[in-house]
Structure 1
Amino acid sequence: MKLDNLAPQPGAKKRKRRVGRGIAAGQGASCGFGMRGQKSRSGRPTRPGFEGGQMPLYRRVPKLKHFPLVNRKSYTVVNVGALAGLAAGTEVTLDSLMAAGIVTQNDGPLKLLGNGDLAVKLSVTAAAFTATARQKIEAAGGSFTIA
C-alpha cells in the first residue's frame, strides 16, 4: 500500500463545514472571513467582472479606438469616375472591370462610390452602391442592379 493508492471508500462523503456554530467548531463568530470588509459580509461574492464600481473591462474596451469590427465586410471599391472611360451600353460587373484593367484584384464583392463624374449610359451590377453613385448612374441614363 502506498499513499497515492489511498482513496475514500465508495459512497463516502466529506461532511459539510459548519460555520458560525461556536469556537469549538473552528469556524465560529466570523466564520474564517475576517473581521470587516466587503468579503466578510453576507451575500458577499460580487458578480464576475465587478471592479469595485470602476467601469469594468468588458464595458470599456469597445469604446476605445483601434478595435476591429467583428465580421467586417470587405468590398472591392470603385469610384463612378473610373467608369467614365467605358463604352456606352456596357454591362459593368466585377469580372468586366477586371478584364478592362480598372480593377486589378478581387477584394470581395463590388461596391460603387460616388466620387467623379459619369456621362456614359451603363448598366451596373454590384453588391452595394452609395447614394451619390446611384444618383450619378441614373442621371447619366444608366441602370443599377444589386447583386
Structure 2
Amino acid sequence: MNLNTLKPALGEKTNRKRVGRGMGSGMGKTSGRGHKGQKSRSGGFTKIGFEGGQMPLQRRLPKVGFSSRVSIITSQVTLSQLDKLTETDINIDVLKKHNLVTKNILRVKVMLSGEINRAINLVGIKPTKGARAAIEAAKGTISE
C-alpha cells in the first residue's frame, strides 16, 4: 500500500448538487427552496431557537443549576487532621466518628497539608502523591 494508491471507501465521496442549472437537472427554477418566504431568499435564515418573535422555549423555562454528584459524596482531610487522631488504623468510619467528614460521605482523599509525625494505616482512603510520600516517610502504610 502506498500513499498514491489510497482511495476513499465506495460511496464515501459524493458529487455536490449543482442547483439552478435548468429544468433538466432536477434542481432548476427554485433550486429546491420552494416558493417564496424567508427561507427561499439569500441570507434569509434566522438564528437557532428563534420562534418568530415569540418568547423562545429556552428563555421560557427556568434556569436549573448544576451540582456534581461526585463532589456530594467526596470529602478531603489533611495530614495535620489525621495527626491529631489517636487511632492508628484510619478508615472512613473513624473520620465520621471524629466529625472530620459528614455521614453521607462515601469517598475521602487525604491532602498534603501540614505534617504527620507518627505511623498511621490508611484503610480504604486514597491519598495524593505528596500525602502518600509523607505517610510512607513516617513509616505508615496505605491499603486501598
- Cα distance, 1:72 vs. partner? 6.4
Corresponding residue to 2:132 among 128, 131, 134:
134
Residue 92 of structure 2 aligns with an amino acid whose one-letter code is: L
Q: Which runs of 5+ in 1 are unaligned?
A: 1-18, 41-48, 50-67
1:116 aligns with 2:128: no
1:32–1:92 distance in 2 versus 1, CA, 3 Å: same
**Residue in 2 that maps onto 1:45:** none
Report matched runs for 1:1-147 at 5 Å. Answer: 20-21=23-24, 29-33=28-32, 73-74=70-71, 75-87=74-86, 90-146=88-144
CA contact (8 A) 1:91 1:123 kept: yes
CA contact (8 A) 1:124 1:144 kept: yes
Distance in 2 (alpha carbons) for counterparts of 1:86 and 1:28? 80
CA contact (8 A) 1:76 1:111 kept: yes
> RMSD of aligned C-alpha atoms?
3.5
- Cα distance, 1:102 vs. partner? 2.5
CA contact (8 A) 1:109 1:127 kept: yes
* 3-state DSSP of counterpart to 2:118: coil
Residue 76 of structure 2 aligns with an amino acid whose one-letter code is: V
* 3-state DSSP of counterpart to 1:73: helix
Distance in 2 (alpha carbons) for counterparts of 1:72 and 1:130? 21
Distance in 1 (alpha carbons) for counterparts of 2:141 and 2:104? 23
1:28–1:126 distance in 2 versus 1, CA, 3 Å: closer
1:28–1:92 distance in 2 versus 1, CA, 3 Å: closer
1:21–1:80 distance in 2 versus 1, CA, 3 Å: same
Q: How many aligned residue pairs are there? A: 92
Q: Which runs of 5+ in 2 are unaligned?
A: 1-21, 34-38, 41-47, 49-65
Identity of aligned residues (%): 25
Distance in 1 (alpha carbons) for counterparts of 2:81 and 2:127? 14
- Cα distance, 1:125 vs. partner? 1.6
Residue 20 of structure 1 aligns with an amino acid whose one-letter code is: M
Distance in 1 (alpha carbons) for counterparts of 2:100 and 2:69? 25
- For the pair shown, the structure with the greater C-alpha radius of gyration is 1
